[in-house]
Each structure stands twice: as C-alpha cells, then as structure tokens.
Amino acid sequence: MVVELVAAGLGGGALYVAAAARVVRQYERGLVFRLGRLRQELKQPGFTLVVPFVDRLQKVNMQIVTLPVPAQEGITRDNVTVRVDAVVYFKVVDPADAIIRVEDYRFAVSQMAQTALRSIIGKSELDDLLSSREKLNEGLELMIDSPAVEWGVTIDRVEIKDVSLPETMKRSMARQAEATRDRRARVINADAELEASKKLAQAAEAMSDTPAALQLRLLQTVASVATEKNSTLVLPFPVELLRFLDRSQREPVERPRESSGRGPGEDGRGSEEGGRGGADDRTERSVLAGTPPQVGAGATVPDGGRVDVGTERVVGEERRVGRGAMPDMGPAYRGDSGEIPPESCI
C-alpha cells in the first residue's frame, strides 16, 4: 500500500514538473502572467518553473532586430519624384513595456519608420538625398526613436539603402556631369596651352640668338617623323627661303630695264645704235604698260610674228626696219588707209 502511494506521488510530481518546467534562452527574457496579471519578476535565462494552468510565460527576444522598410515614393522639396527604401535596427530594452504598452512592437516600429521616411523625403532636396545621407539617417533615427521609447524599444540605427530616380532625371544628371567634366577638361587644356605658349616663347627667344639652333631643331623634327612608317614626309621650308627664291626670279626682269635706259652716247656707239636703243626703250615701256608699241625707225619686229605683252623680248625672226619705213606685217594687218592698226601690235 505504501509503495503504491509513493509511486503515485512520484508520478504526480513528475507530471507537475513536466507541466511547470520552462526553459528561457540566453537572448530571451520571460514575463510571467499569473491569472492575467503581470508579475514584476522576470525569468532569467535557464531552467524555470511556473504554476501549471495558473501562470503563463511569455518570452521576449532581446536581440537587435533588422527591419527592412518598404520603398516609399514621395516628392522632394525641389519637386522631384523619388522612391526611397531604408532599414531600421532596433532592440527591446524593457520587455514589460514592449508587451504591455503596444500590441505588436515590430509592426509599430515598421509603420513609424515608413511615416518618418516619407516626412524626410518631403523636407529634403534631391542633392541632400544623394550626398548628405548621414544627416538624413540621424533625422530618421530621432523621428522613430521618440515614440519608440515608450514602447520599451530603442532604435540602434537607421540607414537609407537606395534612392530610385526617374529615367529622365538620370539622363539630365548624366548630361550635367558630362558638361562639368568637359568644362574641367577645357580649363585644364587651356592652362596647359598657356604654359606651353610661355615655354615656346622662351624657346623662340633663345633660338633667335643662334639661327643654327633652329636648323638643328628642324633636322631633329624631320628625323623623328622619318622614323615612323609613313608614306608621306612633310618637309617644312623657312619663309626666308621662299622670299629669297622670289627675289631671284625678279632680278632677270629688272636687269634689261636698267640696260635699256642707257643713252646713245654712253656705250660709245653711233647715233644709229642710240636711236635703236630709244626705240627699244619706247617699245618696252609700251608693252609693259599694256599699250600698243609705236614701231619706228631702228626698231625690230618679228617677220610675220607677234609682240608679247609683259615681256622684254620680241618672239620670232627679227629684221631691221629702215628709218621711216614700216614693217611688212602682211595684208591682214593693214587697213584701208594702209596703216597698221594698233591692235595688231599687241
């Protein structure tokens, strides 16, 4: 009989322990509600017992919770439509307030984070959303943490993850960035040109003192160009060389003019030669001036030839014309009066 009672007591005790035994993990805290009333004592991590059918143990996670905030669409202060999403890190510091003061603290923090994010979007400009995220994160943290303190929750940090812009705004920003880079490149290029021009001016001043240096530099340039595989070699000529060639071409034209201007007695020849020189001089002046030459005594004209305008010589076979005689230019060159028309001498 005693053995049976002992066995029954042991069995009842085992059932009681099995019904009252609870295990609280290290990152949790336990709240005991006895007949619906919260007891002040918190169950610490480990093995604990509660009164079966009287007490109800509710565990609260004390870890940091990562809560993603859905993307919120809003209009910034400078009238740009954007979509912004964020993430909130929070943890429970007072398990009793987190259970008693709010129905679901996770849902409450999520809704508060979405509301604060929309408010921040409306108060900020687009440049602040893109460049000054640290300030916006601090503002979001303050806006969410203020009501969350009463819920036994503290906000660890808030981070803005992504800012989505319209495609038109992306293209506009890309053009602006490209224009800015182009402006910087032009400024740098202009500074380089200015510095190069100063150096070139100094080099030109140094080479002006020694002309041989310019020639050596020209040869170096030609040698450097010739080393490359080019089918065409451009050889620069100095302007002074072109001027020298131009003067050398003009000298043969000016010498006959000087010789034709000598008088009849300068070279020791007779009056016939002097008269011939005067006629040639008149012929030359007439041809150079573009007027028909006056053919007179002692002048020479081509036999059936022509007079070239702008030159000092007569093309064709020459024959001497006597004093007072006219050259036989053929019937085609004589008019009705027997005189040579002026056009036939040009």
pLDDT exceeds cutoff 80 at 77: yes
Same domain, 45 and 110: no
pLDDT exceeds cutoff 50 at 24: yes
Residue type present at position 117 = L
Same domain, 157 and 79: yes
Same domain, 44 and 111: no
What tokens were used for 35? Answer: 């007949």
Enclosing domain of residue 96: 65-169
**Would 102 be classed as within a structural domain?**
yes
Band the pLDDT of 256: cuts 50, 70, 90.
Answer: low
Same domain, 57 and 88: no
pLDDT exceeds cutoff 60 at 270: no
Same domain, 144 and 79: yes
Same domain, 268 and 313: yes
Total-model pTM: 0.51
Q: From 140, 169, 198, give the residue that closes a domain.
A: 169
pLDDT tens column, 139-184? 888 888 888 888 889 998 999 988 888 888 888 888 988 999 999 9
Query: Which residues have C-beta within 8 Å of that of residue 102, sequence separation ≥ 6?
Result: 108, 151
* Cα R_g (the chain), whole angstroms: 57
What tokens were used for 11? Answer: 């069995």
What tokens were used for 167? Answer: 């495609």
Same domain, 113 and 138: yes
- Arithmetic mean of pLDDT, 326-331: 47
Same domain, 11 and 95: no
Q: What is the DSSP string of 21-56?
A: EEEE-TTEEEEEEETTEEEEEEEPSEEEE--TTTEE
pLDDT for 179: 93
Contact 300, 319 (CB under 8 A): yes
CB atoms within 10 A of CB 299: 20
**Would 185 be classed as within a structural domain?**
no
Domains of the chain: total: 3
Band the pLDDT of 8: cuts 50, 70, 90.
Answer: confident
Half-sphere exposure of 323 (CA within 13 A, CB side): 5
pLDDT tens column, 187-246? 999 999 999 999 888 888 887 787 777 778 777 877 777 776 666 666 666 677 677 777
Band the pLDDT of 315: cuts 50, 70, 90.
Answer: very low
- Nearest residue to 273 (alpha-carbon basis) of 298, 301, 255: 298
Same domain, 70 and 159: yes
Q: From 141, 169, 197, give the residue that closes a domain.
A: 169
Q: From 61, 82, 103, give the residue that closes a domain.
A: 61
- Nearest residue to 158 (alpha-carbon basis) of 124, 114, 195, 125: 114
What tokens were used for 136? Answer: 């916006």
Name residue 102's beta-bridge partners. Answer: none
State the Cα–Cα distance between residues 64 and 76, nearest whole angstrom: 31
pLDDT for 187: 94
**Would 199 be classed as within a structural domain?**
no
- Nearest residue to 72 (alpha-carbon basis) of 106, 45, 111: 111
CATH of the domain at 70: 3.30.479.30
Q: What is the dihedral angle through the alpha carbons of 94, 99, 100, 103, rounded to the nearest 10 degrees?
A: 130
Same domain, 83 and 160: yes
Same domain, 143 and 99: yes
Longest dimension (CA), the chain: 187
Same domain, 56 and 69: no
Q: What is the dihedral angle through the alpha carbons of 307, 312, 316, 319, rounded to the nearest 10 degrees?
A: 90
**Would 10 be classed as within a structural domain?**
yes
**Would 99 be classed as within a structural domain?**
yes
For the chain, the average pLDDT equals 74
**Would 218 be classed as within a structural domain?**
no
**Would 160 be classed as within a structural domain?**
yes
**Would 243 be classed as within a structural domain?**
no
